Amino acid sequence: MVDWCGIRLLWSLSCSMIHNHHIIENRDGKRFRTNTTIPLSVEGHCELHKEYWEKWGFREDWLAYKSLSKQIGKDEIFFETSRIGGLNNRGIKKSEEHRRKLSEANKGMWTGPHSEERKRKISEAMKGNKSSKNHSSSEYKKTQSEAMKKAWKKRKNKVTN
């Protein structure tokens, strides 16, 4: 065992996989990743993030702990990293260059209301399609709405636990 800034690190020399861990500091309630790295086994790396999580409560450390210990899968990792990124950027004004890049990336994604010609082509393409014939019924919409509410509730419960 090694003590680093008051955090106990478990070293597993028998493990063949070594991670370079960036030391994390809590600066006035904000998570700060330093340039200082230490070599750790996967188990030690996992344990360190668990201790960070328990000590400071940063979601990034919870995610690292859960993913390194294989308690969550790739889908949850992707969802959580996207969520954390969005939360970290909330309220931050985007630079002119950032807005320009977003605009470029989104070109062609949304072109506004469909023209009459486009609507006609969509209608022609859908003729004979049996899989969506009841999609406009109020019963189908209600069933779908309930299914989505249930799915999002389940997903939200997974994230908060």
Residue with tokens 């960070």: 52
Closest CA to 44 of 74, 73, 64, 72: 64
Q: Which pLDDT belongs to residue 47?
A: 94
- Token digits for 159? 């994230």
How much of the chain is in helix, strand and coil states, percent to nearest 5? 55, 15, 30
* Tens of pLDDT, residues 140-152: 888 888 888 988 8
* Tens of pLDDT, residues 67-84: 999 999 888 888 888 888
Q: Does pTM surpass 0.95?
A: no
Task: Assign 45 a pLDDT band (cuts: 50, 70, 90).
Answer: very high
Task: Assign 13 a pLDDT band (cuts: 50, 70, 90).
Answer: very low
SS3 of residue 41 by DSSP? strand
For the chain, the C-alpha Rg in angstroms (whole number) is: 24
